[in-house]
Amino acid sequence: MSKKSKKYISIGFIAICVCLLYYNILSNKSYEVLLNGNSIGIVKNKKTYTKLEKKINEGIDRRFTNKNGKDTIVLKMNLKRRGLSCEESIINNFFKNTNMTVETYGVFCKEEYLGSLDNEKEYNLAKEEVKNKYKEILKLKSINDFKIDNVKLKKCRVPLSKICIDKKASREKIAKAILNKHKLINVEFTSVVEERKEIMPSTVMKASDQMLKGKREIKQQGEKGLKDVYSKVTVKNEKIVNRQFIGEKVIKSSKDKIIVVGSKNPAVLGATCFSKPSRGSISSGFGMRWGRMHNGIDIASAIGSPIYAAYAGTITFSGWQDGYGKIVIIDHGNGLETRYAHCNELLVKVGDKVEENNIIAKVGNTGRSTGPHLHFEVRKNGTPINPIEYLK
């Protein structure tokens, strides 16, 4: 091979290497996009950004009118390719750093700017967001008569950097602002709420002439029921300010507690039924004493000790009688009565209804008496009978 041929071969080889090097440099370069001096992303080439910028401007023109302001855009080449930015990231950064202003609808609370929306329709959708949030907070199925005070929607010029690129994000921002300032704004609405409540069982008393007076028996245990109660509530700023009952629906009926109460007078049977009228001991019994009839029993007790009704009945006498001193007489029906004599103090009057063990008087020493005690008599159709036979 001649020297001349070798020279041409060397020149060709160098040329190929230079071309490959140049191609490698060009194929690996990228461009950093600077908007008003701020980096908003990395693109592959100028053509890529030109398409993206056109897309951004078309989107702005579709949403807003009267666009104004000028941006300085510089594409700075990097010989060594860096990681390329995604389209969404560049668009977001463009909105954050642009000098552009647009005419849109501002949402104001007493002149305080809360954010911007594209139109009135978007504002109504934002109010729906607020409604849905209240449904979630208060666990409501529906909201009616929804009203927001002290909020105005008016046209204004706003920096594009203050506007959310996504309409949904704009609505959510306004809804959040309204919720945060609800005390100033006054959000009011009505709703129908449903509450599950227990139905408490009633107690029913049934008289039985097969059971003695004073006796009772539970015939049926009560059971709680369940019902849904519906109310119309008025809510203002997350608080219920009025509640109106609408109706209720019984889910499970309650079962009454039934108590059978004896109505048969034991006096008819001559049965033992009386409670002891005083807590003292019996000092003198029924029958002949000192040559004369003692028509009752004496129960020794201290002055002022309580005297109890031996059985339920009606007061027919409360006052003074010779020999007895201060005395109370109770009619128990069917010709049966009890007497409580020598009392110190009378606590009932004629016509009073008393139950067994009600306090009716206090032990004393009045009338013909040798010391403080209760003289207790039982009479059947006016005839004295031995009280011991009737004491429980």
- Please give the model's pTM, rounded to 2 decimal places: 0.47
- What's domain 193-263's superfamily in CATH? Resuscitation-promoting factor rpfb. (2.20.230.10)
HSE value, Cβ hemisphere, 13 Å, CA-based, for 292: 1
| DSSP notation for 134-146 | HHHHHT-S--EEE
* Structure token digits, residue 245: 């009952």
Name 306's Cβ contacts closer than 8 Å, sequence gap at least 6.
Answer: 278, 279, 359, 362, 363
CA distance 125 to 92: 23
CA neighbor of 340 nearest in space, from 280, 297, 380: 297
Distance in angstroms between the alpha carbons of the first and the last residue of the chain = 148
Strands 216-220 and 187-199: unpaired
The total of other beta-carbon atoms located within 10 Å of residue 39's CB is 14
pLDDT score recorded for residue 22: 46
Give residue limits of the domains in the chain.
3-99, 104-185, 193-263, 267-389
Strands 257-264 and 203-212: parallel
Instruction: At 347, give phi and psi (nearest 5°).
Output: -110, 5
Alpha-carbon gap, residue 329 to 308, rounded angstroms: 12
Domain 267-389 has CATH 2.70.70.10: yes
**Cα separations (Å) of 174 from 117, 122, 124, 181, 300?**
8, 10, 11, 11, 88
Paired with 361 in beta bridges are 307, 346
Beta bridge pairs of residue 113: 108
Confidence at residue 270, expressed as pLDDT on a 0 to 100 scale: 52
How many CB atoms sit inside 10 A of residue 296's CB? 22
- pLDDT tens string, the chain, 392 residues long: the values are 566 565 555 665 555 554 444 444 445 678 888 889 899 888 888 888 889 888 888 888 888 878 888 888 888 887 565 678 888 888 888 888 989 988 888 888 888 888 888 888 888 888 888 888 888 888 888 889 988 888 888 888 888 888 887 788 888 888 888 888 766 788 889 999 888 999 999 989 888 877 766 678 888 999 999 999 999 999 887 788 899 999 999 999 999 999 988 776 665 545 557 889 998 899 999 988 888 889 999 999 999 999 999 988 999 999 999 999 999 999 988 888 999 999 999 999 999 999 989 999 999 999 999 899 999 999 988 999 998 877 87
In this structure, are residues 198 and 253 in contact, taking their beta carbons and an 8 Å threshold? Answer: no
How buried is residue 173: exposed, middle or buried, by Cβ count under 10 Å (0-12/13-18/19+)? buried
Residue with tokens 């140049």: 22
Cα separation, 48 vs 66, whole angstroms: 27
Radius of gyration (C-alpha) of the chain in whole angstroms:
51
The CA distance from 235 to 240, in Å, is: 4
